Chains A and B, each alone.
Chain A
Amino acid sequence: MGLFDELLKSAVGADAREPEQQSRGLVEGLLDLLQQPGTGGVDGLARSFEQKGLGAESASWIGTGANRSISPGQLIEALGASQVDALGRRAGLGGGSAAAAIAAILPALIDKLTPDGRAPQRERIPELGGSIFGGGAASAARKADFSNVQAGSSSTAPAPAPQEQWYTVAAGDSLSKIAKRFYGDAQQWRRIYDANREQVKNPDLIQPGWRLRIPDSAQKRD
């Protein structure tokens, strides 16, 4: 991410103790900010600047011409001091340095996100951001194979309560057919039978119009 490192160093001087990490922190923070619904993507950010009288500047970053610069003060005016502070903390930069660094980096970042001179849809920002970090070094020759990646997840939070479903028996239905429909496995008919014992006395005999409880179907489809 050489460009952003250099911009950071030229903006904050000695405060750029770890320019690569600090510029990455700022770029990540700005990408996160752009993706927030409240910001509204590059378009939304550009509107914020426009409302502060900086429409020509933000338009130049999106457009294909030269980027117009803004001062740290103008940046604070447009983004708000608290937002600038939050971004700065992420990069280990204090208020004044943070504003200077972001004022230097933001035009280049927006420029990189808008190679064709148009603001991208908010959903595309992560992908475009990834290509910025990739720095264009990836080549087709290095196409990696991720087919054997092993992944997982877990949480300290409880799982949601199972969603109970109901099904009204139609003509021609059987418990096996219903089990196949909800669980993808006809052999699981007994689960439906057990959950409806009060109504279903004989599992081979269900009547159209009966409402059957389908237990915990979401989990059992796994």
Chain B
Amino acid sequence: MRIALSLALAALLFACGRSETSAPPVSAPPPSAAPAPARVAAIELGNAIGSDKRVTAAADAFAPADTIYASIATEGSSPSLTLTARWTYEDGQLVNETSETIAPTGPATTEFHIAKPDGFPPGRYTLVITANGEPAGTRQFEVR
């Protein structure tokens, strides 16, 4: 009887030991965790971009002959995220509207740019960025 009890106890301890060693580390993310949905993290304007699509120097004032870039940093992932850049002049005139549909799987940068061969008229401009139709940010800048 004593032997049987010892064996049973040993088996129980062994089982406990196994379950402890095979348990996943506490810090491991649960396998079912959904990736963070994509969102706009930052909007920057400049007159040049690098190969990473980020503006090389942020600015909010431009020369008429500049190409004006907007770098949109996004975070998270999405099978389909449509970013739209709507550029308007101070009197409300539409300068341009362009969309770019992406499928980010992590941090990404999307650039929009506008240029005008005969130069942008001086004045205040507004850029509105939407993500899947929802407002994601507004920037004002000046051409002078």
Q: Which residues of A contact B (CB under 8 A)?
A: 21, 24, 28, 31-32, 35-37, 122, 125-127, 129-131, 133-135, 137-138, 140, 142-144, 146, 148-161
Contacts and interface: CB of A to CB of B under 8 A. Distances in A.
B105 interface: yes
Contacts of B123: 134, 137-138, 142, 144
Nearest to A122: B135
Contacts of B85: 153
A160 B20 CA distance: 43
B93 A126 contact: no
Contacts, number: 137
Interface residues of B, number: 50
A155 B14 CA distance: 55
B56 to A, nearest CB: 15
26 contacts: A24-B60, A32-B138, A130-B124, A130-B140, A131-B90, A133-B124, A133-B126, A134-B90, A134-B124, A135-B124, A137-B90, A143-B91, A151-B98, A151-B115, A152-B98, A153-B110, A153-B113, A154-B53, A154-B110, A155-B108, A157-B81, A158-B102, A158-B104, A159-B103, A160-B80, A160-B103
Given A36-B135, A156-B53, A149 B91 contact: no
A149 B140 contact: no
B48 interface: no
A161 B103 contact: yes
Contacts of B93: 143-144, 146
A165 to B, nearest CB: 15
A157 B74 contact: yes
Contacts of B53: 154-156
A127 B93 CA distance: 10
